[in-house]
Structure 1
C-alpha cells in the first residue's frame, strides 16, 4: 500500500475542518411567547408570597391614623419616579370598618340642603305597591336615592318619626321638601322589598329566615323603646338596601306614638305572619293571616297550615319563636326585654342577599319609565 504523501494529509485535514462537529447551540426562548409555569412552581411561588406576607405584617405593629404617611397627590413626582419603593401596608388598613351612622355622607349633606335640589339628577320612575318612586343620583358624588311624593299631612307624620330614629335596620330619611300641599321624601336606595325576594326561583332557608327575623325584631325592639308602633309590618314594608345589603323596616306612614305604659304586640304578630310568608315562599291568603287560624293549626299539631310543612318540621327554634310571637298571654314588653334565642344569636350576616337582589333584577319585571331629556 502506498505511503500517503503530504498532499493527501492536507486533503484529509481540510475535509475534517469542513465537516467538523460543532457544539449544538442552546435553544433561545422567544421573549414574545408566554412562559407557562408548572403546578409545582405555582404552589411554591404562592407559599413563598404567603410566608413573606405573614413575616412582613406580623412584624409591623398597627399605626394610629395620625402617624400614617400622607397619600401622594396626582401631581406629585413620586408617582412617576422609578426610585420609589412601596412600603408594606399597615395592618390597621385591613378590615377597618367605620360605624354605620357616625357621620353624614356627602350625598346626605348635599341633599339635606333645600337649595341644592337642582344637584340631583332624575334617572327614571317605577311603581311599587301602588307607590310611585323616582330614582335620583347626585351630580357631585356617587350614590342613588329614592324619592316619593305624598300628601303634606301624611309626609309630616312620617318625617317627624324618622328624624327621631337612627338604627341600622330602619330606613334612613335623607331629606324632605315641601311643595304646596304635597311633600317629597327622599330615602336611601332600597328598591327591592321582601315580597320580591321571595318571588325568585331560589327559596329562603332557615338561616336566611333567621337573619330576616333578627333584623326586623331588633328594629321593632328599638321602636318599642321609643314608644313607637309601626302599624304596617309586612313583606312590602321590609326592604333591602344596596350596595350594603341591609334589611330595613320602612313605610312609617301609619306609625303612631303611644303612651309609655302601653305596649302593643300587633307589630310582633305581623312579624310572625311575615316569617310564615318566608317559609311559604309567597304571600299568605287572608284567612291564614289571623290568630284564630294559627291557634287551630297548632292545636292540631300542624306547622301553621303551610303547604310545605314537612320542609320545616326540623326547625324547632323557628317554630318555637313563632309560637312566642303569637302567644297573647305573654306581654310585648316581656318579649322585647327577654328575646327568644332564635333572634338573640346575632345572626345578621346578610351577604346572601346579594344573590337574591341580582335575581330580582333578572327575573322580576318592574314597570320602569326612564327620564326623557326635554
Structure 2
C-alpha cells in the first residue's frame, strides 16, 4: 500500500472512534494489526480499508461482546454475524434479568420486617392482566412511574393500573382466596413483565409485600421479587372521577376495528362516528370517506383522532369480542372496554389530526 494511503495511529483513532491505546492492544492481540509498522521508529500506520473493520470492532465491544466472539463475528458472513449479535444480546438481557431478580431478593432479605400477604390470584389470569395493563406504560428514565404498575389490594379485589399520560389502563381481579390485608404499591414494570411466563404456568400466585419489593410465590418455583418504586404514582382515580359523561357511544366488533386499524397506512387516524355507523379515516385526509366498520352508534355525531400507537394497543388488549367506545368529544379521553365485562378499562388521549407527536405532548402534559 503506498505511503500516502496510510494513516498514523492518531488519525486512524479519530476516524474509527477507538483510542490509540485500544488500537495498540488490538494490534498486539492480533484482532486489528496495522497495515505497516515503521521498522526504525516503530510508528504504526493503518489503511483506509481497515476503517470499517475497526469501527465494527468498536461497536461490538460497546455492546459488551467478548473478544473471542468479536473476532468470530468480524470474520463471519453477514447472516452469521447477525445471529451471533442476537445471541449475545439475548444472553445479556437474560443475565440482566437474573441480576435484577437477585438484587430485589437481596434487598428484601436485608430488612427484618416480615412480608405481608396481600393477595392470592390465579396465575394465568394475573399474567394476562399484567401484560394487558403494561401496554399503557412508557420507558422514561426521568419519570420511572410511567413504566410501572400500580397494585392495589383489598380483601375483595386486586386492581392493576398503568399510565403513560396518553393512555391509562386499569383491570380489577377477583382474588382466588380471601386475604384480610389492604395494601398499595408501585411495582417496576420491566421486572413484572420478565416474570409473566412463570406466573402463567402457576395455578395460584401468592403476592406478598415487603418494604422494598413485591414477592410473588408459587408452589413449585422459586420466589420472584419485583422492586417497588418510591415515586408517587399519578392520582388516576381523581382523573377518572373528573371525566365528563360520554356524549357518543360506539359498540363495535373488536376484530373488525382491529382489521381497519391494521390496514391503515398513517401514524394518526380519525374515527368518524355517526348514526350510520363508524368510519376509520386517515387523519391526513379528513375529507376521505375512510374504511366503514359495522357498529352501533348512539348519541352525538363525532370525529375524534388518535395516534395509532395510542389507540391500537387499547383495542388489541381489550377483553371479549365486542367493545364499547365511550367518547366525550375531540379533546377528551375516550374509554375503551369490553361490551360485556367491566374489569379492564383503557383511556386513550386523542390528538388533533394535523398535530405532530411533539405538539400533542405540549397539549396534554
TM-score, normalised relative to structure 1: 0.24
Q: Of the two structures, which has the highest relative contact order with CA contacts closer than 8 Å and spacing of 6 or more?
A: 1
More strand by share: 2
Which protein shows a greater Rg? 1
